[in-house]
Chains A and B, each alone.
Chain A
């Protein structure tokens, strides 16, 4: 089992969600986040003074999938979210030790 974390532009959330559903991945968690990589912020004005806002709104998607679906998920996210510009986001993969379904205490890959 792998955990896939993707940090995206908020405007790409719907496209990525749809692409994941099409790839057969149904479970996911969406978080609102702020951050930046190499992307510069934007400037705002307050009382005539300019200041920089460098923590930009982002969306983070998390999901845990079977190993076999890993590449499909990465492909789905990537192609839906890519614009080719700085700020597109990142995908991180990590190993998951176990998964448990709370409803019936099922464990392992079948709990996904």
Chain B
């Protein structure tokens, strides 16, 4: 049976391939030879394009999965381990809720607001309910992958960004209020910001925006917005009961450690996937991501060793995350050793933000969402302007300088403009939304609910039932 199948294929395939030639050769005229070759060339070119698409799409789908892994369980574990035992499930639920909620909102309208044609600030309604987002490429964004791949990849970013904010109001926010607040935030702060930086016609788009900003994978769109929003939320909601007199150390550094490592690996999808293709630029972004994480872990560890006398595991993993944040905007624009430098700076700078600045101002940014993401993202965005080079990515054309290191010092101003706009929109948008949700639902849990813990009070569950 097998033998005859193989035999059939042996005959059928060449016959199929040659059939145009065979068909044409029936007429047997000399002019018929040229169309045959042309048809074969066309077929070959199409096959090459298909192969390119398949290679890029494979990488992009994996990248999308990696980015989702960063939220669940990466961030869920990282944040979960850092809170007190009575709040572990509630903390993880906040990330998980984003996986569900943001997906629905993105499909209905979020994607359209971010990536449809609109104005400089926000997209339109052309892709509401994902109309027009099919399996053919959307050449505005990525010419070799299906539009739906691009859409689902971007969705994973939209999921993790609000999840990052939850770190600021950990252990004291109502689940219902959080769900409403972050849903609105996703539509009214994230989508517009994504549109401005990455959307067609966006104010900050590197392609023709008023302030062309270089943001390879979302330093501004994801980290500055979430970090600054986190700061506003932390201040608005107020400190946890007992902060800062009562020590509230992590209940499980083990979980946080695992989460941080998942974030590091997942970040390869976040940054290298932002190349939107599987070529050499993805390689650059991959290497820069890894180098920055390693250097920053070292930077924070050394800073802490000097400051406290002992290097903590929490410091090391926080450092790695800070480096990953800072390299995010720069990942597809800089040389590897610039990435190392950015990493070391981010590790030292973010540790300073968390050890010193947080204590000076006494805000309870419970899990250091601002200290790491807000501060790291801002630093990274500015350093991107410094180190971006056309040798890695000719973002403004092959003959034009990209960043300051190429001679284009004005790029630093563009980066600063992007950061300033992100800070403003995030702060103002978050403040308004918090105020609204507070009036309608009430943001903070009651004193008693906070004391007994959110797992029980919000979810009627216990994270660890050691007696069952």
Residues of A within 8 A of B (CB): 44-51
Contacts and interface: CB of A to CB of B under 8 A. Distances in A.
Interface residues of B, number: 18
Contacts of B351: 48
Given A45-B308, A49-B359, 17 more contacts: A46-B247, A46-B248, A46-B249, A46-B314, A47-B314, A47-B354, A47-B355, A47-B358, A48-B304, A48-B307, A48-B351, A48-B354, A48-B359, A49-B247, A50-B308, A51-B247, A51-B249
B368 interface: yes
Contacts of A44: 249
B250 A46 contact: yes
Contacts of B249: 44, 46, 51
B244 to A, nearest CB: 8
A45 B247 contact: no
A45 B314 CA distance: 10
A109 to B, nearest CB: 34
B307 A47 contact: no
Interface string B202-221: 00000000000000000000
A46 to B, nearest CB: 5
Interface in B302-332: 304, 307-308, 310, 312, 314
26 contacts: A44-B249, A45-B308, A45-B310, A45-B312, A46-B247, A46-B248, A46-B249, A46-B250, A46-B314, A47-B314, A47-B355, A47-B358, A47-B368, A48-B307, A48-B351, A48-B354, A48-B355, A48-B356, A48-B359, A49-B244, A49-B247, A49-B355, A49-B359, A50-B308, A51-B247, A51-B249
A32 to B, nearest CB: 12
Nearest to B311: A45
B159 to A, nearest CB: 27
Interface string B350-366: 01001110110000000
Interface in B276-318: 304, 307-308, 310, 312, 314
Contacts of A46: 247-250, 314
A51 B308 CA distance: 12
Nearest to A51: B247
A42 to B, nearest CB: 12
Contacts of B312: 45
Interface string B383-402: 00000000000000000000
A50 B356 CA distance: 13
Nearest to B248: A46
Contacts of B308: 45, 48, 50
Nearest to A49: B359
B414 to A, nearest CB: 34
A46 B249 CA distance: 6
Residue of A44, A46, A48 with most partner-chain B CB within 10 A: A48
B228 to A, nearest CB: 20
A48 B309 CA distance: 10
